[in-house]
């Protein structure tokens, strides 16, 4: 059976998550909490880590549905990053990566 936990909205929009919610989320002091607004305008509360994993799972499922392998999208992502680095900083990303490796 579902339970309802309540809290009051404080000054500056602050809230304190009820203990039961913190325990369910596995949230501790310093945890980053994500409020995910769904397409049907519901709000889901998750830790940022859980929200990130869920988003990556959704992206992976969408790419798989389109027949795109993880290797393909990683390769495309690298190409896009190289292009952006060149456009934004006028740096050849391959040379920058080689220079960074020699610094370590």
The verdict on 74 and 62 lying in the same domain is: no
Q: Give the 3-state secondary structure of the chain.
A: CCCCCCCCCCHHHCCCCCHHHHHHHCCCCCCCEEEEECCCCCEEEEEHHHHHHHHHHHHHHHHHHCCCCHHHHHHHHHHHHHHHHHHHHCCCHHHHHHHHHHHC
Domain of residue 97 covers: 69-104
Structurally, the chain folds into a number of domains equal to 2
Answer whether 7's CB lies under 8 Å from 22's CB. Answer: no
The verdict on 76 and 94 lying in the same domain is: yes
Question: What's the confidence (pLDDT) of residue 14?
Answer: 93
Question: What's the confidence (pLDDT) of residue 101?
Answer: 54
Answer whether 14's CB lies under 8 Å from 7's CB. Answer: no
The verdict on 9 and 41 lying in the same domain is: yes
Question: What's the confidence (pLDDT) of residue 100?
Answer: 52
| pLDDT, tens only, 37-86 | 999 999 999 898 888 888 888 888 888 899 988 888 888 888 888 888 88
The verdict on 9 and 34 lying in the same domain is: yes
CATH number at residue 2: 2.10.260.10
The verdict on 17 and 47 lying in the same domain is: yes
Report residue 25's pLDDT band, with 50, 70 and 90 as the boundaries.
very high
């Amino acid at each position: 059976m579902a339970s309802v936990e309540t809290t009051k909205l404080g000054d500056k929009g602050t809230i304190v998550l009820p203990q039961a919610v913190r325990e369910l989320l596995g949230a501790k002091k310093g945890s980053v909490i994500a409020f995910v607004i769904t397409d049907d305008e519901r709000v889901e509360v998750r830790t940022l880590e859980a929200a990130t994993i869920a988003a990556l799972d959704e992206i992976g499922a969408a790419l798989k549905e389109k027949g795109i392998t993880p290797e393909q999208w990683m390769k495309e992502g690298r190409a896009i990053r190289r292009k952006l680095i060149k456009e934004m900083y006028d740096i050849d990303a391959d040379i920058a990566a080689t220079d960074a490796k020699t610094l370590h």
